Structure 1
């Protein structure tokens, strides 16, 4: 069964009745969903005690997908990343077995460069053997060379919607990680039941489907709709 999740765990009042009434916001969210995508790590570091508290707030089967810091993906543009990547792994270590994929989202300006990214991916894999997924936004990543490098380092492509680089037709196997940003207005627009069913049908049993259209509160509603389809 795929993990259906949202980016962060804010619960709109309209849907509060679907969740447990007791506990923290995360505990209440985890009473319904089996995973969540942590986006705040993209912007700032958190204390290890924060990750430990989050891990203790959810059931054993719950998983956290964690976004890689912008210092790595944007500020350093994936160059000389060993030190900040090691620090990131140390920060999130208290998640333990509840850690899911690491999400690397590249800026639209960052084109594929074989040498640079081979160095970056090797650095990441030397430090961590867990699942890593990547969302790219520059058309150069559609090349066979880029796909081959990702396969070499076992880094899964994100199927994003809107799909700027890798449309669903480019996936020979069901995507392992789907990020639904909302369209036509990214981060705001809600998905129809038909669209949600279509994305649900794409999901592999061990995949993630994350609703990132959080700005309008649509993510929770859409995720609940998908959950009800199971």
Structure 2
């Protein structure tokens, strides 16, 4: 089976644990070594703290032309402001991360588990975001109220894909939704979130699903089970399965 659209597999961050090191080139920074093997990485550090524009520019310059960064929205906007009154913070963040240039992949908006869907708040925020950012946007809501036809239709209206998350925090969260122009998986480790490696049978099924989805749209898959250093191995194993099927 061949994919008609790109399938980008990567990890949250770009540290290379010792057990995975033989699969990566020996020379260069962790990012340079990662970018020679994987097609993307997810910048999670932007959630916790800002980075200087020159840092973003240096990261972009360290990677090949077809490499992409998914970028996580700062928690100051998503968790502290809860999407309200974030105009200045959003402007500043997009100006900084925009130094990635054409390496800028999807912008990830992860929401706190306590944030209910409010049509007015969501409409104002995504309209604000779309007035300033024309790239791909994915959203990872974690409150059950976001998994309704009303919430989905609003995401579609703003070209926002809903993340498929594992473990699913609420029913429906394990499947992608919203805008169907792309699919984005965030795999946090199961059964122990952030720590467990995925069983071979799970990765087999995942590879098949990614290929099915890639027949219709670009696909992104991020392993975030980094606490016990399984993300890189799971990403590499999934990439090998895809090569074996294509």
- Taking structure 2 as the reference length, the TM-score comes to 0.90
Q: CA deviation at 1:168?
A: 4.8
SS at match of 2:70: strand
Match of 1:227 in 2: 239
Match of 1:58 in 2: 63
Match of 2:159 in 1: 154
1:31 aligns with 2:36: yes
1:9 aligns with 2:14: yes
User: For 1:109-188, what aligned pairs fall within 5 Å after superposition?
Assistant: 109-165=114-170, 166-168=172-174, 171=177, 176-188=183-195
Residues 129-164 of structure 1 deviation map (CA, whole Å, 9 limit, x = unaligned): 110000011001111110110011010000000122
RMSD, matched Cα: 1.5
SS at match of 1:102: strand
In structure 2, runs of 5+ residues without a counterpart are 1-5
Match of 1:192 in 2: 199
Query: CA separation in 1, counterparts of 2:154 and 2:135?
Result: 17
SS at match of 1:78: coil
Q: CA deviation at 1:167?
A: 4.3
Query: CA separation in 2, counterparts of 1:46 and 1:168?
Result: 31
1:47 aligns with 2:43: no
Q: CA deviation at 1:94?
A: 1.3
Which has the larger displacement, 200-209 or 20-29? 200-209
Query: CA separation in 2, counterparts of 1:187 and 1:27?
Result: 24
- Off by >4 Å, runs of 4+ in structure 1: 167-175
Which has the larger displacement, 53-62 or 159-168? 159-168
Q: 1:169 to 1:63 in 2, by over 3 A?
A: closer
Which has the larger displacement, 69-78 or 173-182? 173-182
In structure 1, runs of 5+ residues without a counterpart are none
Which has the larger displacement, 53-62 or 160-169? 160-169
| Aligned 8 A contact 1:200 1:226 in 2 | yes
